Structure 1
Amino acid sequence: MIRIRQGIVVEVLSSRPGYTEVFTEISGVRQKAVNYDFLTGTVKKGDRVILNTTAVHKNLGTGGTHFIMANIDNSEINARLPGHIMKMRYAPAQVKVLAVEEAESPHAEIINNTKSLEQTPVIVGTLHSMLPVAASVCCHETGGNANIVFIMTDGAALPMPLSQTVHELKQKNILSATVTYGHAFGGDYEAVNIYTALLAAKAVARADIIIVAMGPGIVGTGSEFGFTGVEQGEIINAVNILGGSPIAIPRISFADARERHRGISHHTCTSLGKIALTPCLVALPDLEQRLNDMLEKQLLLSGIRKKHVIKYYNSSHTGEVLQKYGLRVKTMGRGFSEDPAFFMACGAAAMAAVETCKKG
């Protein structure tokens, strides 16, 4: 059930395209809230708003903020953009987009005529924090001369404007374009599914390297299959079907206190060992021998080594690359110095993608 409260906007804190953060007063208490401008219109001081306060009330990490559901002082909001595809279908906030596939789209013909990714490298991650690391290392390794396109899945946050990371990567010219598919929305290009999203990245956005990952807020239960990151295996299958070169980022950590995430996470073991039915390149960071030995044991036990191609990369410069671009990235609250293996795994995947580009 949804917990709903009414409040008044008392201060506009910040904004970027499609996203505004405000302070609201709810029952005399000053609290932060997020407004998606293309869903509920612009917001200003003094506006009366209806808020979904569920996540904060439940002390949730994922989605842990108030969201403006409606602005009472915006009596009418008109959808002026073309398109007929609805995302978040049959929900009160369903939003209309112009998908690349539909006849009205200027890109429909090229999507219909493009059948292959032509071995384009596609990095497939699971956490949103993997995106800035992989993208920045790709940019560094290519001297900024590659078109890097990000495809955001609907495995976590649905509105792309929520991601400050994407906004920053585009402002720094690390990402050249974005695509959202499924019920995710707000990318430069909209697509119905992973297949047309990949084709749009290749043929419309002219990607040299594609990175696919969910937005902020992976959902997990601690069970073997109960997490949204299982999509990694399914996306690898899709990349192979379309003739691309899939490269998996394994989730690796030696700092996580949870045993199931030590070394190669059980998430990766499930996604690559059981869900992925077709092979990919699994890029690993070359760590000290005892850690490599632990990873090798996990690769064997999970079935990953038998099913996929494993290659090690010296990605120790990943932290320096993040500093070069002024990116302050954390995963599960940890930075590079606290959990270098996680970041180096992302850097290794980026190096593999650049290597694939050069071969092509």
Structure 2
Amino acid sequence: MRIQWETAVVTEMVGEPWSLHGLQEVRVRLGNGETAAALYDLTVGTPLRPGDEVLLNTTAVRLGLGTGGVHFVHAKLGRLDESVDSPEVPVDANLQEPETPDRLRSFGPQEGHMMKLRYTSLQRAVLSVEEQSSPHHALFAESRTLGGMPVLIGELHSMLPAAVCWLRELAREAEVQAPRIAYVMTDGGALPMAISRHVRRLRELGWLVGTVTYGHAYGGDIEAVNKYTALLAARHVLEADIAIVCMGPGIVGTGTPYGFSGIESGELVGAVHALGGAPVAMARISFADPRPQHCGLSRHTAVAIGQAALAPAIVPLPWLPAEADTALLREQVRQSGLARRHRLRWEAPPPLEHMAAALEAYGQRITSMGRSLQDDPAFFAAICTAAGAAYRLLRNEGPDKP
């Protein structure tokens, strides 16, 4: 195990206003003259200014990794040039912080005693929803269930905005109020919630009722110790109608059957089932990914849902326009054993134009592995098919109604 450290000097602030999001993006000049972008977690110190000397963790970039592949500022060392003027940070007056519900306003990291990133130099105290000083402690001291709440479970962070867009589109079509959607972020990927541009955008749009981070992930509206209490917090504190659970940006894979972080989606199926919720798995499907293990039904879905999930889930799957694609998908599903464990739902996915219109309302491009809806329609078809099944459960419609 190793960490590669390098010193650098901040040259400018870039990106969006740091005050709204918990992360500051800067450009730095390294000792070899290289200039690069770096991210700084504002929960560990005061904002950076041009002229600040910083210590960077450059490990992932030097290894050429995608996951975590950015320089991170570990600490501010001092000022290289005290004469450098520090311009005020520009704030877009049109970009407002999402309104915080009353039931969340009492939370603050200074109030809590539960440590995240424990026994590291960056450990921090947060107020977990379960602890004695939490205003919601009594709720968790009693036995609670999810009361049948649909929970969409995904492997990739990019599934989150697509699922939210389709849920809202279905409500718009039905001319009813959009469901209250909570996002539960696991610690299988990025740990700080602030790293997610999708969460930032969804909060700006007002499309999430709130967010929960558990394990060593941090920065949600609510902090929780584990996946069980995080799910209960989404239901009983945020009063969500539907929860979407997936890791933050970044996923680890090794090319081995069980060596990938997305295997947690199988474990989440069990947690939702144990708590009396309705787990709905978003299958990872692609016919644009050049990697054999992700062609058609991803091997990750086949293992996580087909083997690691020890409780039944609803697994919606799309009939694809190309017969050869559907034939391959059906054979992969047969080999995976999904049908023996779960309730499969083969459905015609929404038309491409309909999905495009729903995603357009987001106002920003949604991609997965760099591919958009037009590049990889099967990926988005699987997400929308699953979101549709969860929506029907919420509306007490369809073959899986309670």
* TM-score of the aligned structures, taking structure 2 as reference length: 0.86
Report the count of equivalent residues.
356
Residue matched to 1:190: 223
Aligned to 2:169: 140
Question: What residue in structure 1 maps to residue 336 of structure 2?
Answer: 302
Task: Indicate the residue corresponding to 1:229 in structure 2.
Answer: 262
Distance in 2 between the 1:168 and 1:326 partners? 9
Q: Spell out the pairing of 1:95-244 with structure 2 (5 A cutoff).
A: 95-113=124-142, 115-143=144-172, 145-244=178-277
In 1, distance between residues paired with 2:394 and 2:78?
A: 52
1:149·1:207 contact (CA, 8 Å) conserved in 2? Answer: yes
Distance in 2 separating the partners of 1:177 and 1:158? 17
- Whole-Å Cα distance in 1 between the matches of residues 198 and 124 of structure 2? 23
Report the alpha carbon displacement of residue 286 of structure 1 after superposing the two structures with TM.
2.6
Cα distance in 2 for partners of 1:286, 1:2 equals: 46
Superposition CA RMSD, Å: 1.5
Q: Deviations along 1:292-343, whole A, 9 cap, x unmatched?
A: 2222211111100121111133323222210122231111111111100001
Q: Secondary structure at the match of 2:301?
A: helix
**Distance in 1 between residues matched to 2:343 and 2:109, nearest whole Å:** 48
What CA distance in whole angstroms lies between the structure 1 residues aligned with 2:390 and 2:46?
40
Select the residue among 303, 316, 325 that pairs with 1:291.
325
**In the alignment, does 2:377 pair up with 1:340?**
yes
For the residue of structure 1 that corresponds to 2:141, the secondary structure is: helix
Alignment match of 2:350 (pick from 305, 312, 315): 315
Give, as a single letter, the amino acid of the residue that structure 2 aligns with 1:2. I
Which 4+ residue blocks in structure 1 deviate beyond 3 angstroms? none
More relative contact order, 1 or 2 (CA 8 Å, 6+ apart):
1
Change (3 A) 1:190 1:249: same
Does the Cα contact within 8 Å between 1:286 and 1:315 map onto a contact in 2?
no
Q: Letter of the 1:293 partner, please give it.
A: A
Q: Which runs of 5+ in 2 are unaligned?
A: 80-107, 397-401
| Higher alpha-carbon deviation: 296-305 or 207-216 | 296-305
What code does the residue aligned with 1:30 have?
T
**Residue pair 2:39, 2:70 contacting (<8 A) in 1 also:** yes
Question: CA–CA distance in 2 between the matches of 1:175 and 1:312?
Answer: 28
**1:6 has 2:7 as partner:** yes
Code of the residue aligned with 2:327 in structure 1: it is D
1:54 to 56, 59, 80: 59
The whole-number CA distance in structure 2 between the counterparts of 1:152 and 1:69 is 23
Q: 2: CA distance between counterparts of 1:35 and 1:70?
A: 9
Q: Does 1:268 align with 2:301?
A: yes
Report the Cα offset of residue 110 of structure 1.
Answer: 1.9
Percent identity over paired residues = 44
Provide closer, same or farther for how the CA distance between residues 204 and 114 of structure 1 changes in structure 2, counting only shifts above 3 A: farther
Q: Is the 8 A contact 2:263 2:308 kept in 1?
A: yes
Q: Which residue of 2 aligns with 1:24?
A: 28
| Deviations 1:22-49, CA, capped at 9 Å, x for gaps | 0111113222110010123321222221
Q: Which amino acid aligns with 1:249?
A: M
Give me the whole-angstrom Cα distance separating, in 2, the residues matched to 1:154 and 1:239.
17
Bigger Rg, which one: 2
Asked if structure 2 preserves the Cα contact closer than 8 Å seen for 1:254 and 1:262, the reply is: yes
Deviation per CA, 1:225-251, whole angstroms, max 9, x where unpaired? Answer: 000000010000000000000000010
Gaps of 5+ in 1: none
